[in-house]
Structure 1
Amino acid sequence: MTAEMIVVIIAIVLMLVGLFFEVARPDLLVFFTLFFFLMMGYVTPEQALSGFSNEGMLTVALLFIVAGVFERSGLVERLVAAFLAKSNSERSALTRLLIPISAFSAFLNNTPIVVTLTPIIRKWASAHNISPSKFLIPLSYAAILGGTITLMGTSTNLVVHGLLLDTESDGFSFFQLAWVGIPITVFGLIYLIAAGPRVLPDNQSLIEKVRENTKDYLSEMIVTNDFPFQNQSVEEANLRNLKGLYLIEIIRGSNRITPVTGQTKIFAGDRLLFTGMLSTIADLQKRKGLELDTGTDLSLNDIQQNGTQLVEAVVSHQSSLIGKTIKQSRFREKYKAAVMAVHRNDERVQGKIGDIVPKAGDLLLLVTGHDYDQQKEHRDFYTTSAIEEQKFYESEARGWFALILLLTMIALVTFQVLSIFKAMVIAVGILFITKIISPHEARKSVQFQVLLLIASALGIGNVITATGTAEWIGSQIVHALAPVGALAILAAIYIMTNVFTELITNNAAAVIMFPIGYEVAGAAGIEPIGMAMLVAIAASASFLSPIGYQTNLIVYGPGGYTFKDYIRTGLPLTLIVMVTSVFIVYYLYM
């Protein structure tokens, strides 16, 4: 091992540790690690930046645009809601839910599918007196499994496909992954439908918890006639930066003002609703003209009136909220909503709301008004509770047109008339020409932070290869496991990739493990395409934690889950998928 390899391994380990402990956004950590390697001269600028022109990465960008059309059309939600409407039992609902979800996920980005279906499932579960926690983890797992069936099922498949193309291989055909993807999806769904209701917890939603303990979250004060700041703004009345308290709503007769800004006027008779550290409310009582209403029977139903709603939202991995306090992010002004509470690991985060620094996976309880637009916050956090009178930007007819267009492109790719990249370029071009999507909407659909992560990770993959690190690690694995056989080597690569996925992100895990797996395949006599399939499947098969895959993170807070719930439910599924994948790859590609 050379000194150069040692530095590369240490830097990558530090990057992985940083990703695990969320010291910064994933895309920035990976990008600065690549920048370090470039400054050290371990890779040329062309090699470092090649990921930004990688065909797989560019295809992912185009798929974001196509998926955005479906997301705005509401087509998937309407179809799944129709399936659920005919269910009257838990297991029947799981069957009717998971099978179409896995099918949709084979052709569409599974993250928006899970985001948009979570509120529908929670609403159905509430109407049938069933805990939504019985459905949300299976929803995420079914979306992950379905994504392994086709080339476009998940960004991980496209990233590995792009890496194969860089090796002068033909890459994956459209349904090549289905040799493994269909069996693991079938076995996985059977397990989830049969065992899911028994192993999953029966949890309340955050809104239900708050409903039962409203006084722990809300306090009401009345503005009397001797209040010295009548007809003045909240900021002038010194109610803007209170110690541990947060003014979320003003009730004025039959009107409700939400969110409350610094310029909102205060009048006698106003009822002020506060949340935060309610133990500090005594300090506010000392102010002249403010009277604590100790006899109030305030409930969440009182808040949810006249267009005001309580909404749950999950902070995303790529959120701009991460690393800043809620106050610094100007939350109320930016999102037209007030934060009532923040829950992390199923526990309420104590302290003043404005001073809380959100983390990925945090569950926010928001008080929203008429002008709240859940599409606007799309990349910072995901709304996971039902929004009354939700309107979609696109008509259902446009959704059907986009679906037919996508199926046509898939047929052309399947019969090798077009490559997946060319097909997506044509599809996006037609969507622009027909004005089904505008350039502005297309830009909003693209998750640039995800693309930066993928492109930077591809550059790090080139570093691992160019410095000989991948070859050295691969030779050590083959040397250690050759006496045991090829099955052990395949299992080792699968486990390593899967562990990385659970600790960091799926795309980064795939990019780091691909060059190692490629070298192992050459040394062990395994076809490279088979090893690439194994890495792609293992990188997607994140079932043991909420942090390895975006869909797991989305359902983490709304389901009230703990890490133990993912391990208890996901460990058998992980073993099923691993054993099935390893044996199929062994018999097809040895």
Structure 2
Amino acid sequence: MNTWEAWLTIAVACGLLAGLALRIAANELVALTCLAVLVVAQELTGTALLPSPADAIAGFGNAAVITIALLFAVVTGLELTGGTHLATGWLLGGAKSLRGAQVRTLFPVTVVSGFLNNTPVVAALLPVMDDLAKRIGVSSSRLYLPLSYAAILGGMCTVMGTSTNLIVRTMYFEESGKVLGFFEPACVGIPASLAGLIYILIASPKLLPERKPAISVSDDPQQYTVEMLIEPNGPLVGKTIEEAGLRHLSGLYIAEIQRADGTIAAAKPSETLRADDSLILVGALDTVVDLRKIRGLLSPDDQARKLQVPAWRRTLVEAVVSPRCSLLGKTIREGRFRSHFGAAAVAIARGGRRLQGKIGDVRLEVGDILLLEASPSFLHRQRESRDFYLISAVEKGSVRRHERAWVSVTIMAVMVLIAASGVLSILTAALLAAVATVAFRCCTTGEARRSVDWSLLIVIGSAIGIGSAMTTSGAAKGLAGGLLGLVGEGPSSPFLALAAVYLATMICTEFITNNAAAILMFGIGVNAAKTLGVSETPFVIAVMIAASASFVTPFGYQTNLMVYGLGGYRVSDYLRFGFPLSLIVMVISLLVIPLVWPLNVRQAF
């Protein structure tokens, strides 16, 4: 790496890694900024070692990016018709125990995730898992994280199972002209999935604690923080906390009292309540809901009454903030939450932490769980806007076209059969399925358009441009040479290089998005293979599998982040439960890949 272009590209790639890992701004803004640096540098210098503006933005028209966008529409049709529930409900209905529920859930989810993008699959099944957990009497934390892991494992088995596989497959075709078969990743994915599922079934009762309200609410990792006001001239004014009956609330306690004059009072049993006092309470969902029945307590600023919806028509909705929420980083008050969404925030929960201060002063983060009071139309509006993942049982109300459930399932099945048989390309099959989904009224064109995760597509398109610069500038070749220098020379060098590429990719994907990790590591893996004079295919498969094998943190894979707050998990739960699974997948991958795609066979292109 003797050129400034290579060093600039490495600096930009490191900036992308750091920006995504530290979450210094929205992912799409970080990715576009990094890409802009390279485009500006090429325009100003005219160097041929950096991609031209046209080449840099070519990633946005990549076939895999377009395919991913089309698949969002197909999955939306499944969600809005209840096709997912139709396909799984008959199987889950017979579950009587935790083990039975996991067996009936994890294996089908693994199979389905091989043919559909696993993120919307998990999103569609969250309310189903919640209902199932309540029916068999276990904490939903026993099902949510295994559900995410099963979806990730299933996504490894085909080139359509996850956006990462589609991207790597397309990049490999552009690099070598070789097409990876639809089921080619299954040679590694199936044994890794089977071993992973067995591990989950055996280990989850021991390594995955039940995250649910305990006798002491302070021990509950999913604590809702709720703010209630003492009604002026109400029955609680002048009474002590003890006299008001607020001391021994089941599963709930008063954390502090904020006076109207700005002072804070300790929540002692003998403390007298005053008009307009703000009570900051912490507790479990059921008890938080019961607070609304106590006379003399009002929601903050009486936001619910300002909804202009009769009380009898309002409903409570549990919703988790998505990465696309327009109010991320803003407080509930700054963002004018009620006016913006037509809903009043009643309470908020964030992992295992108790939030400080008033509800209106909390800055929203991805994964926050909100308890909202809203009109029934809120579910419909927010299903389309994608600001939230709606997770309460009432989410079923958003299913509006039950009579077309079989149509959506048939469209999905036909799409998979066409793509798997090779009659048409995956892009063409997805295009036809998206058109059929709208034509047969499984969803409208507006719903299909709004279902697309533009943030994800922008990150992928930008990362492809940066990955192209890694190759054209010689940075990928230089990094591959450095990697090979670490593993040394000898008969075992190809295998050690393969292991190093796998491990580096796996580590990267735990801290940044899986797609960005795959794109950046793809060039390094291919160049390592070229330098050694061996086949690139094993390295491509290693990057593909390792980029998806994100089990150790909540942040490396979107499904892990989705269930983080919902299950009341802590980061330590992912490390304790997911690290052995990462090792299992890595060992199986490094054993199987050289057997199926021999390292010493150099393919001619």
TM-score, normalising length: structure 1? 0.84
1:221 match: 230
Aligned-partner SS, 1:361: coil
Residue 453 of structure 2 corresponds to residue 447 of structure 1: yes
1:300 match: 289
1:156 match: 164
Q: What are the within-5 Å matches in structure 2 for residues 156-555 of structure 1? A: 156-204=164-212, 217-224=226-233, 279-283=257-261, 290=275, 300-301=289-290, 303=292, 306-373=312-379, 376=382, 379-387=386-394, 390-395=397-402, 397-481=403-487, 482-483=489-490, 484-555=492-563
The gaps in structure 1 that reach 5 residues or longer are 226-274
- For residues 472-507 of structure 1, the C-alpha deviation after alignment (integer angstroms, 9 at most, x for no partner) is 111222233243432221111111111111010011
Q: Which moved more, 1:366-375 or 1:449-458?
A: 366-375
Shift of 1:370: 3.1
Residue 35 of structure 2 corresponds to residue 34 of structure 1: yes
CA–CA separation in structure 1 for the residues paired with 2:456 and 2:29: 10
2:153 match: 145
- For residues 79-116 of structure 1, the C-alpha deviation after alignment (integer angstroms, 9 at most, x for no partner) is 43432331111111111110111111111222222222
Letter of the structure 2 residue corresponding to residue 458 of structure 1: I
Contact kept in structure 1, 2:83 and 2:409, CA below 8 Å:
no
CA–CA separation in structure 2 for the residues paired with 1:562 and 1:585: 34
Contact kept in structure 2, 1:325 and 1:355, CA below 8 Å:
yes
Aligned-partner SS, 1:436: coil
Residue 72 of structure 2 corresponds to residue 94 of structure 1: no
Contact kept in structure 1, 2:260 and 2:276, CA below 8 Å:
no
Letter of the structure 1 residue corresponding to residue 346 of structure 2: M
CA separation of 1:291 and 1:381: change in aligned 2, threshold 3 A: closer
Contact kept in structure 2, 1:374 and 1:383, CA below 8 Å:
no
CA separation of 1:278 and 1:82: change in aligned 2, threshold 3 A: farther
Aligned length: 539
Letter of the structure 2 residue corresponding to residue 217 of structure 1: V
CA–CA separation in structure 2 for the residues paired with 1:438 and 1:348: 41
CA separation of 1:306 and 1:198: change in aligned 2, threshold 3 A: farther
Q: Which moved more, 1:568-577 or 1:437-446?
A: 437-446
2:24 match: 23
Shift of 1:417: 1.5
CA–CA separation in structure 2 for the residues paired with 1:503 and 1:520: 23
Contact kept in structure 2, 1:180 and 1:581, CA below 8 Å:
yes
1:556 match: 564
CA–CA separation in structure 1 for the residues paired with 2:225 and 2:535: 61
CA–CA separation in structure 2 for the residues paired with 1:393 and 1:530: 46
Letter of the structure 2 residue corresponding to residue 380 of structure 1: D
Letter of the structure 2 residue corresponding to residue 474 of structure 1: A
2:242 match: none
Contact kept in structure 2, 1:224 and 1:291, CA below 8 Å:
no
Letter of the structure 1 residue corresponding to residue 392 of structure 2: S
Contact kept in structure 1, 2:223 and 2:352, CA below 8 Å:
no
Aligned-partner SS, 1:535: helix
CA separation of 1:123 and 1:524: change in aligned 2, threshold 3 A: same
CA–CA separation in structure 2 for the residues paired with 1:356 and 1:302: 20
Q: Which moved more, 1:578-587 or 1:398-407?
A: 398-407
2:141 match: 133
CA–CA separation in structure 1 for the residues paired with 2:116 and 2:139: 27
CA–CA separation in structure 1 for the residues paired with 2:504 and 2:124: 32
RMSD: 3.2
CA–CA separation in structure 2 for the residues paired with 1:61 and 1:389: 24
CA separation of 1:306 and 1:204: change in aligned 2, threshold 3 A: farther
Aligned-partner SS, 1:373: helix
CA separation of 1:281 and 1:171: change in aligned 2, threshold 3 A: farther
CA–CA separation in structure 2 for the residues paired with 1:215 and 1:500: 33
CA–CA separation in structure 1 for the residues paired with 2:223 and 2:129: 25
Letter of the structure 2 residue corresponding to residue 393 of structure 1: R
Contact kept in structure 2, 1:87 and 1:93, CA below 8 Å:
yes
CA separation of 1:128 and 1:308: change in aligned 2, threshold 3 A: farther
CA separation of 1:540 and 1:374: change in aligned 2, threshold 3 A: farther
Q: What are the within-5 Å matches in structure 2 for residues 77-92 of structure 1? A: 77-92=85-100
CA–CA separation in structure 2 for the residues paired with 1:472 and 1:398: 54
Percent identical residues: 37
Letter of the structure 2 residue corresponding to residue 542 of structure 1: S
CA–CA separation in structure 2 for the residues paired with 1:18 and 1:574: 24
The gaps in structure 2 that reach 5 residues or longer are 43-49, 235-252, 264-273, 280-286, 294-310, 599-605
Contact kept in structure 2, 1:83 and 1:96, CA below 8 Å:
yes
Q: Which moved more, 1:192-201 or 1:401-410?
A: 401-410
Shift of 1:309: 4.2
Letter of the structure 2 residue corresponding to residue 445 of structure 1: S
CA–CA separation in structure 2 for the residues paired with 1:284 and 1:190: 56
Contact kept in structure 1, 2:102 and 2:143, CA below 8 Å:
yes
Residue 29 of structure 2 corresponds to residue 6 of structure 1: no
